[in-house]
Structure 1
Amino acid sequence: MTKGLQISGVTKYYAEGSGRIAALDHVSLKVEPGEFVAVVGPSGSGKSTFLSIAGALLRPSEGEVTVNGQLISKLSDRELSKIRLQEIGFIMQSSNLVPYLNVLDQVLIVKRMSGRVSKEDKAFAIQLLEELGLGSKLKSYPEELSGGEKQRTAIARALSNNPNVILADEPTASLDTKRAHEVVELIAHEVKSRRKAAIMVTHDERMLEYCDKIYRMEDGTLSLLQTNQREAMNLVKV
């Protein structure tokens, strides 16, 4: 069984007038458990489409996506919803916290969506929050948190169902340099220690040092940059 995330020959077409354009063009990528991968590239290069397909939010026109050994490209909408809930954790540009829920309930909301919340679920959520430095913030509401604390809460929420795949979309977009490093370092630590397959889409060159591999998306195609961090960062700037 193929663990982690595997994307094989994925193409996504969109209609344009009487023709069509390829937002993604035969993209292939494999992310192993415990591997943290960055995807960089200019706006309009296909990164958002790529992440939506990797996260079972969008179906590819061609190609296959496998999550933790399960081929998801041909699943029904209901089955895809189950995959998103059980196998994939999302960390978005903004933390997207619910204003009227405290930190602990923010993390437990994923469990509530999939059914009842057990004592074990609550204990796991508290453990996650303590690991992420939020043990004293369990009863705090979003308006009482800093930007970094909000993103750390979002990381805990993404991990709360113990998914096999983590997808982060510009997780440092609203953070200063210090907070950005803290957040991505925490993501990297959780990916390694919990053996998750993780992809981070980012424009933030400061964060590439935490990643095992760096890919560049341009005009719908994906290519591997050098994994030497300094050289890769120079290539990103081109």
Structure 2
Amino acid sequence: MSGIQLKNVTKRYKDSESETIALDHVSLTVNKGEFVAIIGPSGSGKSTFLSIAGALLQPSEGEVFIKDRAISTLSEKELAHVRLEQIGFILQTSNLIPYLTVLDQLLVVVKMKGAITEELKQTASELLTDLGLGNKLKKFPNELSGGERQRVAIARSFMNDPDVILADEPTANLDTARAYEVVQLIAKEVRSRNKAAIMVTHDERMLKDCDRVYRIEDGVLKEEKNV
């Protein structure tokens, strides 16, 4: 079963004088356990792609399926549920809450769904330990390095056991060594937890841990060969 599939997705933006095609009949299937990268210059359509894949933006044409369920006809309330329960986001900046400890950064995600149980606390602790943060659970963001903060963000994205992980330039603010480490950790967690993952990046050094690589230019998506 595929984790996420985009079928012939087109996104047009119109104003009174012209029409811009941000995505042009894009199709992509990412199965569980696969880690796919999309590369391309600024303005190529990467952000639009990610917004549509993440149920934040509706396509003008085409369809997005998550676990073989079409999401274009869902209500805004249902889409919010999809974003909370089926999609984990990793952003350029870790976006941690300054006054919460590392452990509480994960528990606040769970709190959106209901009560925090001891079992969920254990899940959060295990996720953080798996990412090398077992001794940082009570630390605050300002006590962490940039790489550690991004690892907390990775752990947070897996906290609700989503079907799909979407990473938007997750290495943008890291030095090369920390960037490699972060991508390797994402790849490891995606495969061990059997998630479908897409990473959008302009950094072509970060591709060796990906199963497939696609290039997007002028809204057109093509698979790169022999990467």
TM-score (norm 1): 0.94
Is 2:168 the counterpart of 1:203?
no
| Aligned-partner Cα distance in 1 for 2:4–2:20 | 26
Aligned to 1:235: none
Matches within 5 A, 1:129-148: 129-148=128-147
Q: Which amino acid aligns with 1:221?
A: V
By how many angstroms is 1:108 displaced?
A: 1.1
| Aligned-partner Cα distance in 2 for 1:81–1:119 | 26
| Aligned-partner Cα distance in 2 for 1:60–1:117 | 35
Aligned to 1:224: 223
| Aligned-partner Cα distance in 2 for 1:29–1:16 | 28
Aligned to 2:55: 56
By how many angstroms is 1:121 displaced?
A: 1.0
Structure 1: tracts of 5 or more residues without a match: 230-238
Structure with greater proportional helix content: 1
Aligned to 1:176: 175
By how many angstroms is 1:3 displaced?
A: 2.9
Q: Once superposed, what is the RMSD of the aligned Cα atoms?
A: 0.8
Aligned to 1:110: 109
Give the conservation status (yes or no) of the 8 Å contact 2:167–2:199.
Answer: yes
Q: Which amino acid aligns with 1:189?
A: K
Is 2:65 the counterpart of 1:66?
yes
Is 2:92 the counterpart of 1:93?
yes
Is 2:148 the counterpart of 1:149?
yes
| Corresponding residue SS for 1:209 | coil
By how many angstroms is 1:16 displaced?
A: 2.8
Give the conservation status (yes or no) of the 8 Å contact 2:2–2:29.
Answer: no
By how many angstroms is 1:68 displaced?
A: 1.3
| Aligned-partner Cα distance in 2 for 1:3–1:201 | 19
Deviations 1:91-131 (A, max 9, x none): 00000000000000001111011111111111110000000
Deviations 1:189-232 (A, max 9, x none): 00010110000000111110010000000001100001x32xxx
Aligned to 2:160: 161
Q: Which amino acid aligns with 2:224?
A: L
TM-score (norm 2): 0.98
| Corresponding residue SS for 2:98 | coil
| Aligned-partner Cα distance in 2 for 1:65–1:47 | 16
Aligned to 1:40: 39
Q: Which amino acid aligns with 1:179?
A: R
| Aligned-partner Cα distance in 1 for 2:153–2:10 | 30
Equivalent residue pairs, number:
227
| Corresponding residue SS for 2:198 | strand
By how many angstroms is 1:81 displaced?
A: 0.2
| Corresponding residue SS for 1:210 | coil
| Aligned-partner Cα distance in 2 for 1:117–1:27 | 40
| Aligned-partner Cα distance in 2 for 1:135–1:69 | 36
| Corresponding residue SS for 2:2 | coil
Structure 2: tracts of 5 or more residues without a match: none
By how many angstroms is 1:69 displaced?
A: 2.0
| Aligned-partner Cα distance in 2 for 1:44–1:100 | 35
| Aligned-partner Cα distance in 2 for 1:181–1:42 | 20
Q: Post-superposition, which runs of at least 4 consecutive aligned residues in structure 1 deviate over 4 A?
A: none
| Corresponding residue SS for 2:179 | helix
By how many angstroms is 1:19 displaced?
A: 3.3
